[in-house]
């Protein structure tokens, strides 16, 4: 167990609460709609992923931007003789994610309470500002953190700037999250240590091979942090 106080930067979506499963459910529903029209939807997911990948650098993350990519992709596959109201139905299905209640993972509040008594906690997430602020507020977890950071992107440069702004020593700072692409690899590249907590349904675009690094720990569940910190 690490006894000396550490700076723990903790991801939110799919680390503290469910997130990507809602998008996956909508995608399955949209695929079902598309298949009913007789369209060949075999490449729908690959095209959707590529559409998002190209749109994100200009439009950012969040449900609204996901919805735009989803509707655009849906239109590309929709037969000319299909019901013209279907794209609007897809849009409504997707935007309903914004109204979904926050589902916090088991033992998250208890673990944060324990950790906050021993270490300095910062919530570090990325995405649409209003959407992330709404989820953080609804989670009732803000009180465990010394600060909340909502970044436009998580990369090594963003982490280095964050460390400098918060005056955190990277040697005593850990990034904790489920995404190799956003939480683990760039944090390690910025000189921090990291805790990888895999999620079965991590977003496809967040998956990449984790760096081999002496400062990397992998845990099964968020509650396991109590054993290490």
Q: How many CA atoms lie within 13 A of 115 on its CB side?
A: 30
pLDDT tens-digit profile, the chain (229 residues)? 776 899 999 999 999 999 999 999 999 999 999 999 998 999 999 999 999 999 999 899 999 999 999 999 999 999 988 899 999 999 999 999 999 999 999 999 999 999 999 999 999 999 999 999 999 999 999 999 999 999 999 999 999 999 999 999 999 999 999 999 999 999 999 999 999 999 999 988 888 777 778 899 999 999 999 999 9
Task: Please state, in angstroms and rounded to a whole number, the distance separating the CA atoms of residues 162 and 129.
Answer: 17
Query: What pLDDT does residue 213 have?
Result: 85
Task: Please state, in angstroms and rounded to a whole number, the distance separating the CA atoms of residues 170 and 190.
Answer: 8
Distance set, CA 85 to CA 89, 95, 195 (Å)? 6, 16, 46
Residues with Cβ within 8 Å of 60's Cβ and at least 6 positions away in sequence, in order, are 127, 128, 152
Whether the Cβ atoms of residue 74 and residue 30 lie closer than 8 Å to each other: yes
| CATH class as words, domain 7-17+102-228 | alpha beta
Topology (CATH level 3) of domain 20-99: DNA polymerase; domain 1 (1.10.150)
Q: Tokens for 140, please give them.
A: 């009732």
Alpha-carbon 140 to chain mean position: 18
Residue with tokens 């569940």: 221
Query: What pLDDT does residue 69 have?
Result: 97
Beta-bridged to residue 10, according to DSSP, are: 123, 176
Whether the Cβ atoms of residue 7 and residue 173 lie closer than 8 Å to each other: yes
Three-state SS at 223? helix
Cα 132–169–9 angle (5° rounding)?
25
Q: Tokens for 98, please give them.
A: 């914004």
Query: What pLDDT does residue 214 have?
Result: 86
């Amino acid at each position: 167990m690490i006894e000396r106080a550490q700076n723990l930067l903790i991801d939110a979506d799919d680390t503290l609460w469910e997130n990507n499963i809602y998008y996956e459910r909508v995608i399955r529903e949209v695929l079902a709609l598309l298949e009913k029209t007789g369209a060949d939807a075999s490449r729908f997911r690959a095209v959707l992923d590529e559409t998002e990948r190209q749109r994100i650098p200009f439009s950012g993350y969040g449900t609204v931007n996901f919805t735009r990519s989803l509707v655009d992709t849906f239109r590309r596959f929709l037969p000319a003789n299909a019901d013209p109201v279907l794209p609007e139905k897809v849009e409504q299905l997707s935007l309903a994610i914004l109204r979904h209640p926050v589902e916090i993972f088991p033992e998250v509040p208890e673990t944060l309470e324990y950790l906050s008594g021993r270490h300095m906690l910062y919530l570090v997430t990325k995405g649409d500002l209003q959407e992330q602020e709404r989820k953080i507020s609804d989670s009732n977890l803000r009180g465990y953190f010394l600060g909340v950071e909502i970044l436009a992107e998580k990369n090594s440069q963003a982490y280095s700037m964050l460390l400098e702004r918060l005056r955190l020593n990277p040697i005593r700072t850990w990034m904790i999250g489920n995404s190799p692409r956003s939480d683990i690899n760039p944090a390690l590249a910025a000189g921090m240590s990291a805790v990888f907590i895999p999620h079965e349904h991590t977003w496809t675009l967040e998956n990449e091979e984790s760096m081999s690094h002496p400062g990397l720990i992998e845990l099964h569940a968020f509650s396991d942090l109590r054993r290490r910190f």
